[in-house]
Amino acid sequence: MYKIIITFIFLFLSTPAHAIDGSELLKQVDRNLNPESYESYRKLINIEPDGRKKEFTLFTVKKGVDKVAFLFLAPASEKGRSSLRIGDNMWLYIPNVGKPIRTTSLQSIVGGVFNNADILQLDYAAEYNAEQIEETGGEYLLHLKAKTKTVAYDRVKMWVDKDKKVPTKIECLTEASMLIKALYFKEIKDLGGGIVRPSVIETDSPLYKGYKSVMILAKIKKREFKDEVFTLTFMPNLESLR
């Protein structure tokens, strides 16, 4: 009995009082990156090995954990196109086609290193379970596992700033832990409405050597939307929300 008590006391004292719950931290990261429902304006730049660039301007709306859509504002060749994601389902609307076309998370309707899942990003906590958390200096390292086989990446490593609770780097991995791409979160800014987060995300991939893509967040604010905004029939009308 005496040995049991001593063992219990030892375990209690050796457990950090500041132990962090990985699932709760992931939810904090989600809310610090974006309100649950919002509108935003982003610029996406694809950079090729020879230095050539292609830029896109996107108007994005999101509701809850599983509904997000965006509208191309530029370049002129893409203007009027839109994309919708509801859970694991994604569509692309092209005005002169008239009917939304199904796409997948690993495809990219803008080309470059960012795929559809990166651009139509849902809450991380909606797609991943936090399996493990480590402390590395001024950061936490979260080891995430996809909840289903339909998620774009089987495993994710996320480095999180301890103070600001936002990512600094994310590695996207296969089930066998092969690196698919890395995301780097930079230039933390106060974007208003209590949102203080990285305004720039850069990505590169060993699968696309010499290529890089950059996403720049210009504006973001909380906004509520009706469910009808996130339907196939509303895709041609996203412009009316601006």
Domains defined along the chain, listed by start: 19-241 (2.50.20.10)
Q: Does a cis peptide bond (omega within 30 degrees of 0) precede residue 16?
A: no
Residue pair 160/29 in contact (Cβ under 8 Å)? The answer is yes
Residue 18: Cβ within 10 Å count: 5
Mean pLDDT along residues 181-186: 98
Residue 168: Cβ within 10 Å count: 17
Residue 58, C-beta contacts closer than 8 angstroms, at least 6 positions apart: 41, 42, 43, 44, 70, 71, 72, 73, 119
Q: Using CA atoms, how far apart are residues 207 and 217, in angstroms rounded to an integer?
A: 25
* pTM of the model as a whole: 0.88
Q: Which amino acid is at 153?
A: Y
Q: Where are the alpha helices (DSSP H) in 64-112?
A: none
Pair type for strands 128-136 and 101-103: unpaired
Q: Using CA atoms, how far apart are residues 178 and 155, in angstroms rounded to an integer?
A: 9
Give yes or no for residue 23 having a pLDDT over 90.
yes
Give tens-digit pLDDT for 154-167: 999 999 999 999 99
Give yes or no for residue 3 having a pLDDT over 70.
no
Give yes or no for residue 17 having a pLDDT over 50.
no
pLDDT of residue 153: 96
Q: Where are the alpha helices (DSSP H) in 82-224?
A: 116-119, 124-127
Confidence of residue 231 (pLDDT cuts 50, 70, 90): very high
Mean pLDDT along residues 116-126: 94
The candidate with the shortest Cα–Cα distance to 157, out of 138, 137, 181, is: 181
- Pick the range with the lowest mean pLDDT from 17-21, 62-66, 116-120, 165-169: 17-21
The token pair that represents 168 in the structure block = 């600094």
Residue pair 171/160 in contact (Cβ under 8 Å)? The answer is no
Residue 159: Cβ within 10 Å count: 19
Give yes or no for residue 32 having a pLDDT over 70.
yes
Q: Which amino acid is at 220?
A: I
Residue 127, C-beta contacts closer than 8 angstroms, at least 6 positions apart: 146, 147, 148, 151
Mean pLDDT along residues 88-114: 92
Give tens-digit pLDDT for 197-220: 999 999 999 999 999 999 999 999
Give tens-digit pLDDT for 54-95: 999 999 999 998 999 999 999 999 999 999 999 999 999 999
Give yes or no for residue 8 having a pLDDT over 90.
no
